[in-house]
Structure formats: structure tokens, C-alpha cells
Amino acid sequence: MSINKGALAAQKILEEFGIENPNDFSVEDLIHARDIILQEKRISNADGRIVFGKEKTIISINSEIKYTGRKRFTMAHELGHFELHHNKNTHLEDNSLTLDYFKNGGQEYEANQFATELLMPKPAFINFTHGKVFSPELLRSISEHFQTSITSATFRYMEIGQHPIFLFHCRDKKVIYWKNSINYYRKVKEITKLEPPSDSVAMEFFIDGTIYRKEESAQEILKSTWFETGEYDSDDEYFEYTIVTKNYNTVLSVVWEQ
């Protein structure tokens, strides 16, 4: 996978400040080092906002964000906009939990990749996950170790983790898009812009609000739940773990086989 503009910008700022361990710095300190005004306030339908002024830049973080990891990722994302896009925009508002950021292309993708590399540098991430069996608990431990959101930890694992996975993003009972680990091919059913499969864990949430406890979060499903199976294919056992955001009515389904 070729390195992108966002990741390169993150590596540059880490080198500039001599940061080797991602846990040895606060994103707030980096923002202040750029002479940016950082504030928390209630923002409707957005996690963060950046406004480029003639003399000062202001980053606003939604004070309603409950989780430290999500707040930290949002701050890193806005800093990414400053590093990458301050000559191109005057105002950017981000509602990150729609997960639309993770579609390829555009300034939001670049800012997300900046935040991902800044908080979870590739060497540190590979070192932390090496030899560990994939599970929802591993994703939670990545999120906790790197002090970032479970969603960003999951996408990072999809990009460079050892165990191949598929991700399906659903919103308002519709499949918005899906992504998969490199070189891990399965034929996905024609479900984009349609409802998630009736026997999926994602659909359980949309039907009756089911959210499984941590110890039950790896739910058994069949390969045919999300993927096409031919006449001679075996309907193998797969697993699905759902990351639910109630406020945005979204589900990120993580699907894998043992």
C-alpha cells in the first residue's frame, strides 16, 4: 500500500517534534504549538470544526463527545486539516461519526489518514498487534492503548492488521459502503444502498436495538450472510462484531473468519 499525503504529513510533524512514542504527547499540545485556538463547545450535528482566519485559526470540538478516544481522534483530524488544507479552505465542519470520512478521496480522507498515522503510527501499530489473535477485544485494546476511537482502530487494523477482515457501514437501515483488507477477496452480495442482510447482526440492531455485551460481541454468522456463495461453495462459519453509534443510527459491522 503506497503511503498517502495525510500519512506523510503526520510523519513530518512527529519528526519535527521528535516524537517516537504516540503515547508521549497530547494532541492539544501540538495544536497549541501551531498557535491555533482550541475550544470546546456544543456543535450541532458535528464532532469538530476548523475556521481559518487571516491571523488565527480556531479549532472547535463538540463538548457533547463522551469518549476520550473519539475526542482525541477528532482533534487530530482537525489538526490534519490545518497541516494539509489551510491554504485551500476557510471553514470545514466535520460530522465524523457518519463514517463517510473513510471513503477514498478528498480532504476528509486525507485528514483522517493524518489522524490515523499521528495516533497509530504504522511501526508502533504493527508492534502492538503482532502475534495477537484477532477479536473484538483486540480492537478494544488497540483503541485503549493508542487512546483513539474504536472506529479508527478498526479501520487501521483493516489497513495493516495481520488477520483479514471486511467492514460494512450501515446507516438508517441501509448499507452505505463496504471495505476489505488488501488481498482478501469475497464476493459481497448486491446490498449497497439496500437493507443489511436479514440474518446479520447489524439488522438485529435496526430491528430491535440489540447490542451485545462485550463477552458476546463476536456473534456467529454464516458466509452467506454477507457474501455470495456458489453451488459448490461451503457455507462456512464466520463472525460479525458490530460497533453501534445510537445517536447517528449507524452500525459498523466487522466480519471475519477464523
Backbone angles phi, psi at 92, to 5 degrees: -130, 130
User: What is the spatial distance between Cα 199 and Cα 107, in angstroms, rounded to a whole number?
Assistant: 36
User: What is the spatial distance between Cα 142 and Cα 97, in angstroms, rounded to a whole number?
Assistant: 19
Q: Which of 102, 123, 144 is the last residue of a domain?
A: 123
Decide if pLDDT at 99 tops 80.
Answer: no
Amino acid code (one letter) for 230: G
Same domain assignment for residues 252 and 190: yes
Can you give the CATH number for the domain in which 250 is found? 3.30.450
User: What is the spatial distance between Cα 42 and Cα 44, in angstroms, rounded to a whole number?
Assistant: 7
Can you give the CATH number for the domain in which 24 is found? 1.10.10.2910
Q: Which of 123, 146, 179 is the last residue of a domain?
A: 123
Higher pLDDT, 245 or 139: 139
The cell for 190 is 448486491
* Phi-psi region at 131: left, alpha or beta (left = phi > 0; alpha = psi -120 to 50): left
Name which of 51, 148, 31, 158 is nearest 102 in CA terms: 158
User: What is the spatial distance between Cα 161 and Cα 80, in angstroms, rounded to a whole number?
Assistant: 23
Q: Tell me the residue length of the chain.
A: 258
User: What is the spatial distance between Cα 202 and Cα 217, in angstroms, rounded to a whole number?
Assistant: 12
Q: In 3-state terms, the chain is what percent helix, strand and coil (to 5)? A: 40, 20, 35
* 102 — pLDDT class (breaks 50, 70, 90): low
Contact between 27 and 76 under an 8 Å Cβ cutoff? The reply is: yes
Name which of 116, 137, 120, 117 is nearest 128 in CA terms: 120
Q: Which of 123, 153, 186 is the last residue of a domain?
A: 123
Helix (H) or strand (E) holding 83: helix 68-85
Classify 8 as helix, strand or coil: helix
* 173 — pLDDT class (breaks 50, 70, 90): very high
* 81 — pLDDT class (breaks 50, 70, 90): very high
Higher pLDDT, 96 or 148: 148
Q: What's the pLDDT tens digit per position in 199-219?
A: 999 999 999 999 999 999 999
Structural domain count, the chain: 2
User: What is the spatial distance between Cα 173 and Cα 184, in angstroms, rounded to a whole number?
Assistant: 26
The beta strand positions in 172-233, using DSSP E, are 174-180, 219-222
The reply to whether 186 falls in a domain is yes
The reply to whether 223 falls in a domain is yes
Q: Containing domain of residue 46, as a range?
A: 5-123
User: What is the spatial distance between Cα 101 and Cα 257, in angstroms, rounded to a whole number?
Assistant: 26
Span 30-37, mean pLDDT?
96
Classify 164 as helix, strand or coil: coil
pLDDT at 22: 86
The answer to pTM > 0.75 is yes
Name which of 29, 25, 9 is nearest 86 in CA terms: 9
User: What is the spatial distance between Cα 70 and Cα 61, in angstroms, rounded to a whole number?
Assistant: 11
Same domain assignment for residues 109 and 196: no
Decide if pLDDT at 145 tops 80.
Answer: yes
